[in-house]
Amino acid sequence: MAPPLTVQARVTCFAPGQEAPVGQFQPGDFILTHSNSLLAWLIRLGQSLRYWGKNRKYTRWSHAAIIVSDDGQLIEALAEGVVKTRLSDYKPTEYHLVHLDDSVANDRDRDQAVEFARRSVHDGYGWTTLVSIGLNLITGWKFTFCVDGQFICSELVARCLERTSVIFDHIPQHISPAELAKHFQVQPPPAGTAKGDPPPQRWLPRLSWR
């Protein structure tokens, strides 16, 4: 019998119109949520190819963002690149707050995770990473390629969480929102639950090379 999963986080669901109160999260925590952008559609497509059966429930989420301040500032990878936003921007849509347990993220870990996120602001979106993931899913190859200084949303969160005691089964470039949900055992709400209205995003990508 497999050993029981170690509790790594406390997860709270906020329905459309609800908002996580200050004090319920810390810098270094993250959210799983939704987007209506082309990027989210591509991520949902990739997740549908990878996650089947009992794991299919984790494909509900198509976006992730990391919390970097006590008052709810976010850093996230969007089509325009890595930018600062606010947790309040996601009030119109459902999101799940993943609050890391002290056993996997102490204060120093959280500081390092936030510092990595802040240093990534203005970096570009990981379009090459999406291509790499797509080829991996279609062909079964284990070959991975990406451009330094570019991130997809869940990769950025995973790279930040690598600064804590969290250990993933895959490289950060291939961590999807569904993989984050599976790792932390985030359970979706009942089938048919409304997702609400994700905040609008720019469609024009901004490339960054370094």
pLDDT at 117 over 60: yes
Q: Is the CB of residue 97 less than 8 Å from the CB of residue 74?
A: no
pLDDT in tens, 71-94: 999 999 998 899 999 999 999 999
Plot region of 205 (φ>0 → left; ψ -120 to 50 → alpha; else → beta) = beta
Q: Which amino acid is at 137?
A: L
Helix, strand, coil share (%) of the chain residues, nearest 5:
35, 20, 45
Bridge pairing between strands 81-86 and 73-78: antiparallel
pLDDT in tens, 94-112: 999 999 999 999 999 999 9
Hey, what are 61's tokens? 């989420």
Q: Is the dihedral of CA 148, 154, 157, 158 positive or negative?
A: negative
Superfamily of domain 9-183: endopeptidase domain like (from Nostoc punctiforme) (3.90.1720.10)
pLDDT in tens, 165-191: 999 988 888 888 999 999 999 999 998
Hey, what are 176's tokens? 């999807």
